[in-house]
């Protein structure tokens, strides 16, 4: 059996950082599922910006996408798009298109194919609830909206000094609402998940807790 750890949680809860570091420690494969939805947002921006697409047209666009992950970078049709994917506009489009059931269905098997030995750690919104419901460990990682906005603000300031913390917080609140209220695969957890609020935990402490649960 292939060991699988899922880490779901809201935007900027630190899922990606934690999952990536645990993948390194355990030598596991890593799947950042949000990057898939972001890549779709970027692909639409590049190929059909300004068009209102039907769900069939969106699914058709997915067929044209050639998405791959190499050494921590994301490639879309052979082009390195790692940095472009972090853009807020791309994140908003990802949130919009990820609410469409046909889009999620289309991407399901693509995600499941990442489960390979020696193991997989993956992060997103529905990795434990829909994509890998039988994972060995399912974590719901969260932090207060203010803490998450502060972390995202510090990240963004690296590239854009004009960014305002108020705007970052509003974006986070909007995305929380969209991701948790949608009908298909909303951001949620149940008793089969371990809940971890890392508002007052360091990255190392958060990793330590996840590894403790995994080893038990
Ligand atoms: O984790 P992220 O911010 O990169 O995700 C971008 C968007 O993609 C997010 O608003 C919701 C969507 N998403 C999703 O619906 N399901 C996932 N498993 C991962 C992301």
Look at ligand 1, atom 1, and give the residue with the nearest C-alpha. 34
Pocket test for ligand 1, best of 37, 39, 133 (most atoms within 8 A of CB): 37
| Ligand 1 atom having least distance to the Cα of 12 | 3
Neighbours of 209 (CB within 10 A): 17
Residue 189: its pLDDT value, please? 94
Please say if the pLDDT value at position 86 is more than 90. Answer: no
Residue 181: its pLDDT value, please? 93
Structure confidence by residue, pLDDT tens digits, 76-85: 999 999 999 9
205 CA distance to ligand 1 centroid (A)?
Answer: 24
Residue 52's pLDDT band (cuts 50, 70, 90): confident
42 CA distance to ligand 1 centroid (A)?
Answer: 13
Domain with CATH 3.40.50.300 in the chain: 1-24+119-216, 29-117
Residue 216's pLDDT band (cuts 50, 70, 90): confident
Q: What is the DSSP string of 48-110?
A: HTT----HHHHHHHHHH--EEEETTEEEETTEE-TTGGG-HHHHHHHHHHTT-HHHHHHHHHH
216 CA distance to ligand 1 centroid (A)?
Answer: 29
- The ligand 1 site (C-beta within 6 Å) comprises 11, 33-34, 37-38, 91, 94-95, 98, 124-127, 175, 179
Look at ligand 1, atom 20, and give the residue with the nearest C-alpha. 34
How far apart (Å, rounded) are the C-alpha atoms in residues 117 and 37?
Answer: 25
215: three-class secondary structure by DSSP:
helix
Please say if the pLDDT value at position 30 is more than 80. Answer: yes
Token match 């993948």: residue? Answer: 23
Structure confidence by residue, pLDDT tens digits, 163-211: 999 999 999 999 899 989 999 989 999 999 999 999 999 999 999 999 9
Please say if the pLDDT value at position 158 is more than 90. Answer: no
Residue 66: its pLDDT value, please? 93
Token match 């909206």: residue? Answer: 145
| Ligand 1 atom having least distance to the Cα of 38 | 6
The closest of 20, 2, 8, 34 to 104, measured between CA atoms, is 34
Fold of 1-24+119-216: Rossmann fold (3.40.50)
Q: What mean pLDDT value characterizes the chain? A: 94
Structure confidence by residue, pLDDT tens digits, 110-149: 999 999 999 999 999 999 999 999 999 999 999 999 999 9
Class of the CATH-defined domain 29-117:
alpha beta
pTM: 0.92
């Amino acid at each position: 059996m292939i060991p699988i750890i899922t880490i779901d949680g809201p935007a900027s809860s630190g899922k990606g950082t934690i999952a990536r570091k645990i993948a390194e420690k355990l030598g596991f494969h890593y799947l950042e599922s949000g990057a898939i939805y972001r890549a779709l947002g970027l692909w639409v921006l590049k190929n059909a910006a300004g068009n209102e697409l039907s769900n069939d047209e969106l699914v058709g666009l997915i067929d044209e996408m050639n998405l791959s992950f190499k050494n921590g970078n994301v490639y879309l049709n052979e082009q390195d798009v790692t940095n472009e994917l972090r853009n807020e506009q791309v994140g908003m489009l990802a949130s919009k298109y990820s609410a469409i059931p046909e889009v999620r269905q289309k991407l399901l098997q693509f995600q499941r194919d990442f489960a390979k030995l020696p193991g997989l750690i993956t992060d997103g919104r529905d990795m434990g609830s829909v994509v890998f419901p039988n994972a060995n460990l399912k974590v719901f990682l969260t932090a207060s909206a203010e803490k998450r906005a502060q972390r995202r603000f510090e990240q963004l300031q690296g590239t854009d000094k004009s960014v305002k913390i108020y705007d970052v917080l509003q974006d986070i609140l909007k995305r929380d609402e969209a991701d948790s209220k949608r009908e298909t695969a909303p951001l949620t957890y149940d008793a089969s998940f371990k809940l971890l609020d890392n508002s007052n935990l360091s990255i190392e402490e958060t990793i330590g807790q996840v590894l403790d649960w995994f080893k038990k």
